[in-house]
Amino acid sequence: MLKAHVRPWMGIVMVALMTLSFAAGTQFRSLACVGANLMAGVGGFASESLSAVEEISLRPVEAFQEVTALLRRNYVAGISEKQEVELGYAAIRGMLAGLRDPYTRFMDPEEYNGFREENQGHFEGIGATLEMTEVPVSPESDKETAKQGALSPFQCAVCGADWVNPLSYRITRASANGFEAEYVSEAPFYREYRISVVAPIPGGPAERVGLKAGDQVVKIDDTSTYGMSMTEAVKRIRGPAGTAISLLIRREGESKPIELEIVRGNIDIPTVEKRVLDGDIGYLRINSFNESSVELTAEGLAELKTKGIKGLVLDLRNNPGGGLEVCLDVTAMFVPHGPIVYIQAKGAEPAPRLAPKQSRGLGLPLVVLVNRGSASASEILAGAVQERGVGKVVGERTFGKGLVQIVRPLKDGSAVAITTAKYMTPKKHEVNERGILPDKEVAQPEGVVRPLSDEDLQAKTAVEMVKEQIALRSASSIRQSRLPATALAR
């Protein structure tokens, strides 16, 4: 009987096969974190029992068991127990890839442990968050990469090339070391999924050498990222503090790829940073929404208020997100009772998540700073401030991740993240692939710009806007105080 040969890991595979169906299509690489917690920017743990799933077809499960048994009995090189586990995990990843959703992914025990460490804000790595994103590619941007011979002949033949548009180029020579391509004709833009940087962690190794939000990772050391899963990319990039790694990245506006040498380090994410600017302007920077964010944000606001601040700059730049419930609790400190975000689950109408009745908001002039590295939970907070009319948003259009995931731990120490819903702003505007557009767009100078440095034009603009709001409030208060008592009584 096949059941006598079922190993513990096979139960995980069979549950996955029964819960999700296969779908044909290109293999998409899943979301992963390399030095920061982006996982499901609006994530949580599900309580639904897997046994509740009804009307399941057992044919995929039976086929999987049969193939496994055939391999065990007949494969010429033999199958070790370790290989069986790896094959089982590969089957799960292949199934999830068929959903064509870069946010639904499987984490083996090692990856899941890393994810939990990142959620606590302490780990070793380069200090950056990666994600698989869909990007437009033009023939002009392909020319330089084609010359580098980034792909093997096999990849060119099977996949039509990732970095070369087959409508624009003809392969003229291929060898074990790469290929050469000849430009044939102009072709329109087309779209591909590539490993991109969501945000470098402030002060981390990646930021120090100039890695930026939006950079696309072309090579890791000498290995092309074409066809590479996010899992493999993360494992290649992670490593002990003090070791070095080379990343070849493509950056918008640059004609040639850029090579960066990064020495890995011990990463401690300072969840909340605070200070007073120009005597009476509070500055609060939230770097991620993790387990300690609610307490530290509340403490930071209380401390700033005791110092007599008259307005606040809230910095969410390069904040890649975190947990939904954490985000809601933090946002309720800035907006009064009412909708923070709308969550739309499968087959349901959008449902509001509200700031509690006791929420009074900040009660001070407020400006929120965002950029391309502000994602998911950061976008919820910025969108709520903007659309509830309690503050202004300054900087650049945000990342545009408006999907909700649950993270389900599995019995063998692995876990699966599944997209379960999408979210919208208080006025029901969708965020996914659109982002939050600032009230005032301000671009930063080229190069690495430290927060609050002389080159930080976005922060300078935010401070000036807070000062203007303070002046307007002061003028309004003076006018009110000069009104006759009878007018005030009315």
**238 pLDDT tier (thresholds 50, 70, 90):** confident
The pLDDT value recorded for residue 376 is 94
Beta-carbon neighbour count of residue 208 at 10 Å? 15
- For residue 286, the surrounding DSSP H or E stretch is strand 281-286
Mean pLDDT is lowest, of 14-23, 262-271, 339-348, for: 14-23
Among candidate residues 344, 406, 294, the one with its CA nearest the CA of residue 40: 406
Match 């060898």 to its residue by tokens.
Answer: 175
> What are the DSSP calls for 340-394, one per residue?
EEEEEETTS--EEEEEEEEEE---S-EEEEE-TT--THHHHHHHHHHHTTS-EEE
Q: Where exactly are the structural domains of the chain?
A: 125-267, 270-474
Q: Reply yes or no on domain 125-267 having CATH 3.40.309.10.
A: no
| pLDDT tens digits, one per residue of 260-313 | 999 999 988 778 999 999 999 999 999 989 888 999 999 999 999 999 999 999
The pLDDT value recorded for residue 203 is 83
pLDDT at 146 over 70: no
- Cα–Cα distances (Å) from 421 to 43, 102, 111, 349, 469, in that order, read 10, 14, 24, 11, 37
Q: What is the maximal distance between C-alpha atoms in the chain? A: 98
DSSP 2: G
Same fold, 125-267 and 270-474: no
pLDDT at 106 over 80: yes
| pLDDT tens digits, one per residue of 165-182 | 454 556 566 655 555 666
Contacts for 464 with CB less than 8 Å, ≥ 6 apart: none
pTM for this prediction: 0.71
β-pairing verdict for 366-370 and 258-263: unpaired
Tokens at 409, concatenated: 């731990």
393 - beta bridge partners? 368
3-state secondary structure of 107: strand
Mean pLDDT is lowest, of 55-59, 352-356, 424-428, 444-448, for: 55-59
- The whole-angstrom separation of Cα 137 and Cα 164 is 9
34 - beta bridge partners? 128
270-474 is classed in which CATH architecture?
Answer: Alpha-Beta Complex (3.90)
- The whole-angstrom separation of Cα 106 and Cα 428 is 31
223 - beta bridge partners? 220
**Overall average pLDDT of the 77-98 stretch:** 89
- The whole-angstrom separation of Cα 115 and Cα 39 is 8
